[in-house]
A and B are shown apart, each in its own frame.
Chain A
């Protein structure tokens, strides 16, 4: 079974530029999560989707971050405009609450450097 796929693996941009990350969850997983992991810290939830609806986006800085999951499968996270403090690894995870006992499976992440 294929795992959670993310791209790109690395991205370097200058502040005030925009950037987008893509995630393809494990097949059949209805729940998708985006996390931000700053160096030396644990991942922090940004947004959670159930199918194509948002369950929780309370930690998402909505003035610059946006995310969508239009068809309930793939998801895109966008930052516009980026700030220096957005430098982090952005992790995508997915889960199947019925089968996988709420275990979240993670992708390898996208490492973003904002210069």
Chain B
């Protein structure tokens, strides 16, 4: 079965702290894709990153970084020096199924960054 687990329901940090959002996935497919989306209060899901199953290289984009480890089926997301504007719900998602591109989401982690 395909599944995405985000065990952290809510995280609260103070501005400038680093924070890591955890994501664990399950799939039997050998080819799959992992995503992170941000959902601010406005409601729109904003794409952050896509990673395919053959690329375990970690990625850094500004204050954001992602750690993909197939051995532990995890795709964790770290925000360095958090800011109030980072406050949102963050979703990890798994795409599988070849050409049908089925995308399933975790339950999300609400990040609150306090000034």
Contact check, A40 vs B45: say whether CB atoms are below 8 A apart: no
B contact face: mostly helix, strand, loop, or mixed: strand
Contacting pair B101 A97 (CB below 8 A): yes
Q: Are B33 and A106 in contact (CB under 8 A)?
A: no
Instruction: Name the distance in Å between A6's Cβ and chain B's nearest Cβ.
Output: 9
Residue of A nearest to B97 (CB): A56
Complexed CA–CA distance, A108 and B43 (Å): 5
Kindly state the interface size class of chain B when it binds its partner: 20 to 34
A14-22, A41-49, A77-85: which lies at the interface: A41-49
The interface residues of chain A lying within 8 Å CB-to-CB of B44 are 3, 106-109
Do B43 and A104 touch across chains, with their CB atoms under 8 A apart? Answer: no
> Are B100's CB and A104's CB within 8 A?
no
Quick one: which of A43, A55, A56, A97 contacts B45, CB cutoff 8 A? A43
